[in-house]
Structure 1
Amino acid sequence: MSPTFSPARPRPLAWMLAALLLALLAGCATVETSSGPVSRMTLSATMVQAETLANQAATQKGAQRRQTVDQIEALLSGLDNATLQRDAAALPAGNPLYNYAGRALLRRGLPLPRPFDRSAWQFDAGNRPPADSDGYRPPVKLAVLLPLSGNLATAAAPVRDGFLTGYYGETRRRPEVTFYDTSTGAIAAYDRAVAEGNDFVVGPLGRDEVGALFNRGTLPVPMLALNRAQVPPPAGNASFSLSPEDEGIAAAEFLLDRGAHSVLVIGAEDDTQRRAVASLRERLAERGGVVTDVVGEGTADFAPFAAKPGGIDAIFLATRGSAARQLIPRLALAGLAGKPRVATSQLLSGTGKAEEDRVLDGIAFPSESWTTHGIRNLPPAVSAAAILPNAKGPAARLFGFGYDAWLITAYLERLATSATGIEGATGVLRIDGFGNVQRTPAWSTFSNGIAVPLASATQR
C-alpha cells in the first residue's frame, strides 16, 4: 500500500517517481551476525565495582540514575578490549551490568557475546504478521512524523526520500504509511497518529520534541525517534541519531586502537563540532588518553603546542574540509605532518575538487557505508545522486539516515532479540539494551584528493 500524507497536501511527483526508480535498483537488507562462546570466570575488580553500581541504578530514577550510569560507563571505559570482552561474557543472564558492558562493546566496534538482556526493555510486535526468515517484520500501519512544511522541511526532505526508497525497495508486505507534519507541533502529530490507529511511529526529528514525548513515560504506540534526547527511551521505544557525540566517541576509539593517547584538537566554533570535541575528550580521559589542547582553526602557529612536554601522538580536526585545507600546511611547519590525523564527517564539507583536496590526503574520517563502499540494498551513491537531488552532496548522509530508519522499523524485533547487526546505509546498526540504536561507521580517507575507503579500518 502506498504512503499517504496528513494533513492533505499535493504529493511531489518528482521525488515519488525518483524513489520508485531507486527502489527498482535496490536489493534486500543484509544481516551481519556475530557469535562467540560464553564462559564463566572471575570478574576483574573494576567489573565488580561496576556491577554494584548497576544494581543501584536499577532502582534509581532521574538525575541520580544518570550520575550512577556515568560512573558505570567511566569504569567500563577504563578496561582494555580483552578484559571488557572477557568480563562481559562472564556475566550471567539477567545481570543488570550486562547491558552496559554490551553497549561499551558496541561503541568499540566489538562483537557481543550474546544478545542484550531485554527484561527492562522489551519490544512488543503487537498484531504484526509473523516475521520472515531474515527477521523482516514491519508494522501494519505506520506513521512518520516529519516537518513537511516550514523552515525544517528542507532538512527533512532527504530523510523522507531515503525512507521511501527503502520502503518501495521492499517487495514483501509493506505497511500502510501516513506522513504527519510536525511543523505545528510534534506532540499533537503523535497524538493524531495514535488516534488514527497507527501501530508504530517513526520520528520526530527534533531533540526537544523527542524529549517531550519520552518524558511522557509509557507511550500508547511505540516509536523510533529520529534523535537522541536527555531522557532515555521508555521501554519498547527506540531512538536513532547521527549525533556528533557518537562521532567523537568513534574518533577516540579509532585513535586509541592505534596507540594514540595524546591528542591535539583543532576545532570550529559551531555547536556540532563542540559536541564532537567534548565527546572525544571525555572518552579519551576515560581510557587513559588526554587532549593536550583545544585550539581554534584560525591558529597561525602550532609550534608551541607541538613542543609541549610529552609530545603529541595525533591530531583531531573538528573542522570543515575548506578550513582543514588551510590548516595542513601550518601543521607541517610545526613538525606535525607525520602525525595521525582524524576528523569528523564534516571534513567532506567544502571538498570535491581533487586538485585542491590533495592536501587532505591521509586524514581519516567516519563515513557512511553506502557512500564509502556501497551496500547491496541501495544503488551506488553516484547513481542515486543522478536521479534524486536529495541523495547527493551533504544531503546524502540524511538520505542514508532516512533509509536506515526504514530498515530499523522493519527489522526492529530482530535487532531487539538477537546479537546481530543490520548493514545499513550509515553503518552497521545494532540496538543496545536501553533502546538506543548504535551505529558502527565506515571509515574513509583522502587519496590524491578523492575520498576513498580506509583499508586499515575494518568494519567490525
Structure 2
Amino acid sequence: MFGNLKRILVAGAVTLLMAGCTVIPDGDGSRPDGGGPVITQPTGPSDAVLPEDEGRHRVALLVPMSGSNADVGQSIANATTMALLDTGAENLRITTYDTGGGAGAAASRAIADGNRLILGPLQRDNVGAVLAQARAADVPLITFSNDTTVARNDVFVMGHVPEQSVVRTVNFAIDEGARHFAILAPRGDYGNRTTSAAEAAVLARGGSIVDVQRYDRNNTSIISAAERLAAQGGYDTVLIADSARLAALAAPRLKDAGDDLPSIIGTELWSRQDSLLTVPSMRNGWFAAVPDDRFRQFASSYESRFGEQPFRIATLGYDAVLLTLRLTRDWRPGTDLPAGLLTDDGGFLGLDGVIRFQSNGVGERTMEVRQIGNGVFTVVSPAPTSF
C-alpha cells in the first residue's frame, strides 16, 4: 500500500533512500515476519510495553489524544505510524503520550520512560511545560508549532512558519515589478508576525510601505479596513494576511475583477483553499507555501489506511520520523542525542520539501509560489530543492 511513498533524506551531499514495506491493513501494525518498527499508540507506556531495548532509540510523541485537538493529534500519530511502516524502521521505538491531560505530566512520563528525543508538543502554549521536564534530562524537542518565539537551542520549530511564507511571496512580487505595498492584517499575534515580516522584506529590497490597516477578525471589520486602504491608494500590491474566506471578502473592495493592479498577495493560510478559485477579484493573486505534490500522494495513502483525509499538519509527524531516522546514523541507542546533529546545513527532504534547523532552533523551509487562476492553482516559482 505504501510502497509508492519512498522518500529521500538529505544531509549535505549524502542521501538515504527509504524503501517501502508491506503493510497489514488490520492488526497492531507489526510486520508478518515479526520484525520492523515498534509502534505504541495511543496511550502512555507501561513496563510491559517498553522493555529494555539496547538496539532501538526511544522517541516520545507528545500530541493531544483527548480534548478539543484530539483529532489533530490522532492525525499526527497516524502519520508517524505510516512513516515507521513505510520505511521499515527497525531501530526506533516511538511511544505516544497524550498532552490532553497536561503537557508537563506527559513529558514527565516520557522522560521517566527513557525517551531521548521528544516529537512535539503541538501547541506553543505547551512548550514551556514540556521543556521544564526535558531540559534537565538533556532531551531536545522538535515541536510541531510554527511559533518561532519558542525556538531555542534545544527546542526546534518544525511547523510552517508564516513569516517565511510572507518573505518568499514579497520577494517574488518585487521580482515581478512590485514596489509600493499596502498591508491588510488582523490584530493579534498572527497579524503582528506577518506585518513585521512583510515590512522588513519590502524595505530590505528597496520598496515602500504605503499603508497598513489592522482589523478585528470579523466580516465587517476587514471590509472596512479594505475600504480604508482603497481610499488611501498609492500602492501596487496588497498583502492580505488572513484566511481565504476573509481575503475573498476584502479583495473586491481593493480591485475590480479583471484588473491587473493592485496585485493581491497572501500567506500559507491560502494553501489548498479551493474557494479562492471562484472569486474573480482574487484571480492572479500569489502566495507561498511548502510544496504540495507529496502531500497529495501522502493523503491518498493515509485515506486508504485510516478511512479519512489527514489534517494538513499531519505531514509534520511523518517528516519528524524521517528526520529521526536520519539522526540515528550518528546516534547510538540509549545515549543522548549528540549536539549539532539537528543543525546540519544541508537539511533534509521530507513530504513538505527541504527543511533545515538553524542554531537558534528555527526550521527554515523552501517554499513554492502559487498563483490563483480560473479554477486551478499554478506553481509560478518552484521551491528550491536545496539550500
Report how far residue 429 of structure 1 moved.
0.8
Match of 2:238 in 1: 315
Among 201, 220, 230, the residue aligned to 2:149: 230
1:177 aligns with 2:94: yes
Deviations 1:267-300 (CA, angstroms, capped at 9, x unpaired): 3456434432233224434554443222353033
1:440 aligns with 2:369: no
Contact persistence 1:321–1:350 (CA under 8 A): yes
Secondary structure of 1:26's match? coil
5+ residue gaps, structure 2: 15-52, 216-221, 330-340
Contact persistence 2:156–2:362 (CA under 8 A): yes
Match of 2:211 in 1: 293
Q: 1:160 to 1:261 in 2, by over 3 A?
A: farther
Match of 1:346 in 2: 269
Between the aligned partners of 1:417 and 1:321, the Cα distance in structure 2 is: 34
Among 351, 355, 373, the residue aligned to 1:429: 355
Contact persistence 1:427–1:442 (CA under 8 A): no
Deviations 1:365-423 (CA, angstroms, capped at 9, x unpaired): 12232x3x337xx825456456656635xx2x212222222222222478646432322
Residue identity (%) = 25
Contact persistence 1:182–1:189 (CA under 8 A): yes
What is the correspondence of 1:46-195 to structure 2 with a 5 Å cutoff? 140-195=57-112
Report how far residue 152 of structure 1 moved.
2.0
Contact persistence 1:320–1:349 (CA under 8 A): no
Q: What do you get for the CA RMSD once the two structures are aligned?
A: 3.5
Match of 1:391 in 2: 309
Between the aligned partners of 1:213 and 1:229, the Cα distance in structure 2 is: 16
Contact persistence 2:202–2:208 (CA under 8 A): yes
1:456 aligns with 2:373: no
1:304 aligns with 2:231: yes
5+ residue gaps, structure 1: 1-20, 36-126, 130-138
Report how far residue 148 of structure 1 moved.
0.8
Match of 1:366 in 2: 288
What is the correspondence of 1:177-326 to structure 2 with a 5 Å cutoff? 177-214=94-131, 217-227=135-145, 228=147, 230-235=149-154, 238-269=156-187, 271-295=189-213, 296=215, 297-298=222-223, 299-300=226-227, 302-306=229-233, 311-326=234-249
Contact persistence 1:211–1:229 (CA under 8 A): no
- How many residue pairs match? The answer is 325
Report how far residue 215 of structure 1 moved.
5.8
Q: 1:206 to 1:286 in 2, by over 3 A?
A: same
Amino acid at match of 2:10: V
More RCO (CA 8 Å, sep 6+): 1
Report how far residue 342 of structure 1 moved.
1.7
Match of 2:250 in 1: 327
Amino acid at match of 1:402: G
Q: 1:230 to 1:212 in 2, by over 3 A?
A: farther
Contact persistence 2:294–2:352 (CA under 8 A): no
Report how far residue 161 of structure 1 moved.
2.4
Between the aligned partners of 2:171 and 2:308, the Cα distance in structure 1 is: 31
Secondary structure of 2:318's match? helix
In the superposition, the TM-score normalised over structure 1's length comes to 0.61
Amino acid at match of 1:365: F
Amino acid at match of 2:170: A
Match of 1:115 in 2: none
Report how far residue 352 of structure 1 moved.
4.3
Between the aligned partners of 1:215 and 1:322, the Cα distance in structure 2 is: 39
Amino acid at match of 1:211: G
Report how far residue 325 of structure 1 moved.
3.0
Contact persistence 1:159–1:402 (CA under 8 A): yes
Between the aligned partners of 2:72 and 2:241, the Cα distance in structure 1 is: 22
Secondary structure of 2:238's match? strand
Q: 1:398 to 1:300 in 2, by over 3 A?
A: same
Match of 1:108 in 2: none
Structure whose residues are more often strand by fraction: 2
Deviations 1:53-95 (CA, angstroms, capped at 9, x unpaired): xxxxxxxxxxxxxxxxxxxxxxxxxxxxxxxxxxxxxxxxxxx
Contact persistence 2:370–2:381 (CA under 8 A): no
Report how far residue 430 of structure 1 moved.
1.0
Between the aligned partners of 1:387 and 1:273, the Cα distance in structure 2 is: 38
Deviations 1:152-171 (CA, angstroms, capped at 9, x unpaired): 21232322222222222112
Match of 2:321 in 1: 406
Secondary structure of 1:423's match? strand
Contact persistence 1:147–1:181 (CA under 8 A): yes
Secondary structure of 2:320's match? helix
Match of 2:6 in 1: 27
Q: 1:367 to 1:248 in 2, by over 3 A?
A: closer
Match of 1:119 in 2: none
Match of 1:58 in 2: none
